[in-house]
Chains A and B, each alone.
Chain A
Amino acid sequence: MSARGPAIDALLARVREAVRAQAVTVAAVPAHTVVRRIARDQADLASLFAAKAQSVGMRVTRVTDAQLDATLAKLLESRAMTVVAMRDPSLAARANAAAGARLAPNNNDDLLFDCEVGITDVDCAIAESGSLVISTNGRIRNAWVTPPIHIAVVRAAQVLADLVDLFELRPDTLDAASTTIITGPSKTADIEGVLVTGVHGPAEVEIVLVG
């Protein structure tokens, strides 16, 4: 046995005994083809992603790579401090340029609370649910949650069909200390079921879909 603490060894022993107290009813985990249903017959994943992201309350602007700089500049115009949290160095350079003088340093997570915009790239995106997948690998943590506005730059080639594909095709995404799948702006309906956005995370999520 392990050199773990006695409490853990005791728990493992009790669980081992408990598991054997009842017959095993499921010998193997079932294959899950039905799980993929939504994006099953979709060829144009970028368009499906855009439609689904909008249906959960995020805004989507679709641009060519040549239009990206102008689009970012326009989105950041008249904003206060912006933090850039991008793993892709060339994208980061373009976002830095768009933020100009209002660029916040990206090495102090406490300063995130003073930023108006967090701008990130993504590890990938998911078409069937309109989700963004962002990990802490190469990005200051929570730049996508703390400021009231989140701008995400997504390349069309990064869009996966289904949540299942994230786990099957891109398991490396989960190697990071933290990974978050984002499906909409921060929401609550705790007070009488009335939907309010921006309770803790951003009220606005702006997606720039490139390509």
Chain B
Amino acid sequence: MNPLIAPPLPFDMKPRARDAVRDLKLQQFVGNATHLKDTQRGGIFGRDFGHDYDELRTVARDTKQYALDHLDELLERFITNAEKSGAKVHAATTGREACEIALNIARAHGAQGRAMSCVKSKSMVTEEIGLLPAFEAAGIKTLETDLGEFILQIDGDAPSHIVTPMIHKDRVATAKSFVRELGARYTEDPTELTMIARAHMRGLYRTADLGVSGANFLLADEGAAVICTNEGNFDLSVGGPPVHIVFVGIEKLIRGACDLAPFLKLLARSGTAQPLTVYTSFVRGPRRVGEHGGPKELHFVLVDAGRVGVLASEKRDLLRCIRCGACLNACPVYRKVGGHSYGSMYAGPIGAVLTPELERAQGNTDAGLANYADLPRASSLCGACYEACPVKIDIPKFLMHDRARLRERGLSPKSEGHMLKLWRWLAERPAMFRFAIRAVRLHARMLGSKDARSGAEHSWIKSAPGPGAGWTQSRDLGIATGESFREWFARRDNKSGGGR
């Protein structure tokens, strides 16, 4: 597995965050792209749903929660209906089991004396279970067909965003990879680069023995999977090869097409500010008698890999996630540190709570959080993730929950406890509090200044000394400028109360 998304444990986030903050290119790409997507998301929901947006989220939240609360019934119904349409359904408790199932299917179709080839559509769960390394070890040559994932694959890189996996890379890196790996002529034009990739993959679709994909939703009533792409790579991956395997986490189940519309409307708008993804594809069984195209065999591999444990826990809500990536785009921490700082295929706020939880559910009770002790703290608790979430997962609540658990187990830094004690002592003494704030601001003015017009900060020192050094290893020291909250509040109160 790629150490970028499957690092040695326990995972130390700080060095990666430090490098990311110092990487000016990454700051520019990730900062601009996430900011733009976040703004566009607000725009399209405002235009299309106005004041009903919040109610739409509530509908989606309750619909998905219902599905989780009745997941046993829905699973049974899905399996029955999928089998009725001719698909084969498998269950895997662990990622390794899921890979084994796929390898057995592949072996049953292996051609003598020739390496098998596979075309794969983008899927988070296959990253999670390490399908590609398992295929590679078995001599199955796999092509990632999503353009971003393809570029990451030929570079030995890993996705850093759920929806836009190569958000951390630029056209220059892509141009160089295409020259090196595909023997293409050098061009930095995104259209030309895309057409080079298209031409490269066309032939491989025609000859692949196996197609692999994830799924965005499973429909219990129809026994079908729903897969959303913008490129059309899923349709080509499933259409050509004689065998197709859908890997899917069990939390993707909903009741049926009757409940699907709110999710489709929310998913594309939240992720990329589109009304729907370009291709929303339903797969219901293998090709029928007399049909041209489509797999002769269709397999569903239902993946647990910790999900049943999350379902049983007080964090059941996390399984509502539809992987739209909106919380990543909205998060001030993700925007600065990028996806690889989270040490998981699930980055950003949802990753910070989901990664330790899936890990916990697969191992012993303590290991999850202890192995990812930095993740719950990688948040300012500003609540932007909750506001952005189309299924209203209260991520800040779960981050707080994890911080409390870290503290109970003595896994928080000692300095955090000291700071909180000092804070509490000050907060209980108003006069002392006012004095302390004034003293801090006076010192801060000696250390730097803020341009009143441009807002640009000029700081003489960027790192704090002594106990504050840890804080500034991956951040610049902020400058306290202007008035304090109490001063502002008093002034505002005077102003608004002036007429009375």
Contact = CB atoms under 8 A, between A and B. Distances in A.
Given A15-B72, A18-B311, A175-B284, A182 B224 contact: no
Interface in A11-57: 11-12, 14-19, 21-22, 24-30, 32, 34-35, 37-38, 52, 56
Interface string A81-114: 0000000000000000000000000111110110
A15 B66 contact: no
B387 interface: no
Interface stretch (A72-80, A151-159, A183-191): A183-191
Contacts of A32: 56, 59, 63, 261-262
A10 B93 contact: yes
- Interface class of chain A by DSSP: loop
Contacts of A201: 231-232, 235-236, 278-279
A200 B69 contact: no
B194 A34 contact: no
Interface string B229-242: 01111011011100
B69 A24 contact: yes
Interface centre among B90, B285, B293 (most CB of A within 10 A): B293
B257 interface: yes
A110 B260 CA distance: 33
Given A18-B312, A28-B66, A29-B62, A163 B265 contact: yes
Interface string A140-181: 111001100000000000000011100110010011111111
B222 A18 contact: no
30 contacts: A8-B90, A11-B302, A12-B76, A14-B308, A28-B66, A34-B56, A37-B52, A109-B292, A109-B293, A136-B291, A141-B239, A142-B236, A145-B232, A145-B239, A163-B276, A167-B257, A167-B261, A174-B222, A177-B283, A178-B283, A180-B279, A183-B275, A184-B274, A190-B151, A191-B151, A191-B190, A198-B198, A200-B231, A200-B232, A200-B236
Contacts, number: 274
Contact of B71 (A19, A28, A35, A163): A19
Interface in B119-167: 145-148, 151, 164-166
A131 interface: yes
Looking at chain B's contact residues, is the secondary structure mostly helix, strand, loop, or mixed? Answer: helix
A194 interface: yes
A190 B166 contact: yes
A18 B309 contact: yes
A56 B206 contact: no
Nearest to B83: A4
A134 to B, nearest CB: 10
Interface of A: 4-5, 7-8, 10-12, 14-19, 21-22, 24-30, 32, 34-35, 37-38, 52, 56, 106-110, 112-113, 128-131, 136, 140-142, 145-146, 162-164, 167-168, 171, 174-194, 196, 198-202
Contacts of A130: 275
Interface of B: 29, 32-33, 36, 48-50, 52, 55-56, 58-59, 62-63, 65-66, 68-72, 75-76, 79, 85, 89-93, 97, 145-148, 151, 164-166, 170-171, 174, 190-191, 193-195, 197-198, 201-202, 205-206, 222, 224, 230-233, 235-236, 238-240, 250, 255, 257-262, 264-265, 272, 274-288, 291-294, 302, 304, 308-309, 311-314, 316
Shortest 4 CB-CB distances between A and B: which pairs?
Answer: A201-B232, A141-B293, A109-B293, A190-B148
Nearest to B283: A178
A207 to B, nearest CB: 14
A56 B257 CA distance: 24
Nearest to A6: B91
Contacts of A18: 71, 308-309, 311-312
B161 to A, nearest CB: 10
Given A11-B93, A15-B250, A200-B198, A26 B279 contact: no
